[in-house]
Amino acid sequence: MNNILDQKSLEQRLHPNSIWISRKTRILTSLLGAIPLSLGNRLRCLFYRSILGGLGEGAYLGTGLELEGARGIFLGAGSAVDNGVRLNSGEPNGRIILRSQALLDRGISLETLGGCIEIGEKTCIGSYVCMAGPGDIRIGKNCMIASHVSVYANNHIFTDIHTPIGDQGLSCAGIVIEDDCWLGTGVRVLDGVTIGHGSVVGAGAVVTKSLPPFSVAVGVPAKIMYKRSNSTPKSIALHQN
Amino acid sequence: MNYIRKGLESIVTGALSAVPTKIGKMVRVIGFRPLFKQLDSSAKISSRVRFSGTSRISIEKGASINQYAEIHSGGNLIRIRANAFIDLGVSIRDCGEISQSSGIVLGENSSLGPYCCLAGPGAINIGSNCMIASHCSMYANNHIFDDPARPINSQPLTTVGITIEDDCWLGTGVRVLDGVTIGTGSVIGAGAVVSRDIPPYSVAVGVPARVVKSRKEQFSTSLNKK
């Protein structure tokens, strides 16, 4: 099986930032970026393979795909990237890794700012989701992340009132969303949070603290309502009454 | 005459917005200059940005606008000040009555993150050095819905306006409602809904947003500790 992401092939493909690669990226995305339908997809897969860090078999690339630091972007077998997506790996150290069959819906913006954004197998990310580093963001397998979610692995430091906040630097601990999590629409995940596997976060929640596995959390800030277990699920219990 | 102007504006902005990369940016700055109220030569307008009412849009030195953004003026001035940054997919719409005090201003060095939505018709004034993260909404209007017998969309709007003073940081997904002033140096936590004024140097979080601490007190406490 062709594993595009084993350590050896990673090292072979990565090399220092090159002006020629970024020019080539701009030329290819300008020429091929707007071609619609399956013709566009085939042309993009054919030609973008030479600029991306890795492109697996059967990947789908939609129109309007904006690539920065393409050498640090790895798209696994069967992954799909819908229209209008922006992937900025922030070379030389940044990485965006989509494992096999991961799906990115339209308008998604992933900017690593030098960190790593990794999306696990069979995970679906909804429309207009924004994720940014520089902390690492790791999302596990089989996750479902609904539309308009924000995942920001950074916070501005603002202790000094005499200096503009933008000049005071960032803290960036990183964010981990473990396997089999479901984040509802409009959830905000802040830096330093780990969402344990099997958790469900209600729509609009703002997750400021880590959640243990199998939590169901809602609200601003997100508070755990109950823990998922093998006893009768609450949703079924409610319907029976 | 108006129709000709509008037609020309649509054709020119539409055609030139398709040209990608730096070549496109140069072509747009040259081609758009006669249509805009002001367009500095150092402005960077990415491809796929949509404009209307360009005679009331002013883009100053070093400002940059990323792809898929939309700036629509329906009557009042929209001013993007020096070195301001508008990220992917931002929507700025002013469709109000013409008024000298209305309009939308994005201050110097301020930035709007991806998919922010700003709408009038009330004035929206964003100060300098503000950082507004993704998915924020600022609506300088509220629907009046006092009369249950009439559809809400036929009842009037409030248009008091929104002011965000200098050096504010709004986290992702903040909603700012009409009539609100956010004081200088304030920090609004992600997901907050700001329905009341926030004093300067506050940190406010929650739905509705409540001030949880003052940056000034925190700062003087940290000085005293040294």
User: Mutate which of A27, A86, A159, A208 to disrupt the B interface (most B C-beta within 10 Å)?
Assistant: A86
Interface size, chain A vs chain B, as Cβ–Cβ contacts under 8 Å: 97
Measuring CA to CA, how many Å separate B161 from each of A36, A114, B112? 42, 39, 18
Nearest CA in chain B to A191: B190
Token duo for residue B50: 């949509």
Neighbouring residues of A157: CB distance < 8 A, sequence distance ≥ 6: A165, A168, A169, A170, A171
Angle between helices B21-32 and B2-17 (to 10 degrees): 160
Residue B74 sits at the chain A interface (C-beta within 8 Å):
no
Angle at B61 between CA B67 and CA B31, to 5 degrees: 60
Residue with tokens 């109000």: B96
The pTM of the full predicted model, rounded to 2 decimals, is 0.90
User: Quick one: pLDDT at residue B98?
Assistant: 62
- CB < 8 Å from A in window 181-220 of B: 185, 187, 189-192, 201, 205-207, 215-216, 218-219
Residue length of chain A: 241
User: Quick one: pLDDT at residue A151?
Assistant: 98
Residue with tokens 């730096």: B22
d(CA B40, CA A171): 35
pLDDT tens digits in sequence order for chain B, 226 residues long:
788 888 989 999 999 998 888 889 999 999 999 999 999 999 999 999 999 999 999 999 999 999 999 999 988 999 999 999 999 999 999 986 666 678 999 999 999 999 999 998 999 999 999 999 999 999 999 999 999 999 999 999 889 999 999 999 999 999 999 999 999 999 999 999 999 999 999 999 999 999 999 999 888 887 887 6
Among the partner-chain residues A86, A156, A166, the one whose CB lies closest to the CB of B88 is: A86
% of chain A at pLDDT higher than 70 = 88
User: Quick one: pLDDT at residue B63?
Assistant: 96
Cβ contact (<8 Å) for A204 and B191? yes
State pLDDT tens for residues A52-106: 999 999 999 999 999 999 999 999 999 999 999 999 998 678 999 999 999 999 9
Cα–chain center distance at A11: 22
Q: What is the DSSP letter of A100?
A: T
User: Quick one: pLDDT at residue A14?
Assistant: 54
Token duo for residue A226: 């109950």
Active-site residue, B135 included: no
Q: Which of B5, B33, B143, B150 is catalytic?
A: B143
User: Quick one: pLDDT at residue B217?
Assistant: 86
**Beta-bridge mates of residue B38:** B58
- Where would I find the H helices in chain B? 2-17, 21-32, 215-225
d(CA B80, CA A198): 45
Cβ contact (<8 Å) for B88 and A26? no
d(CA B32, CA B72): 15
Q: How many CB atoms lie within 10 A of CB B221?
A: 9
Residues of A whose CB is below 8 A from B188: none
Among the partner-chain residues B169, B172, B190, the one whose CB lies closest to the CB of A165 is: B169
Q: Nearest-CA distance from B219 to chain A in Å?
A: 6
- CB < 8 Å from A in window 22-41 of B: none
Its ipTM equals: 0.90
Give percent helix, percent strand, percent coil of chain A, each to the nearest 5. 20, 30, 55
Among the partner-chain residues A26, A84, A152, the one whose CB lies closest to the CB of B172 is: A152
Q: For strands A215-218 and A223-227, give the pairing.
A: antiparallel
Phi and psi at residue B91, in whole multiples of 5°? -120, 120
Among the partner-chain residues A109, A165, A188, the one whose CB lies closest to the CB of B173 is: A188
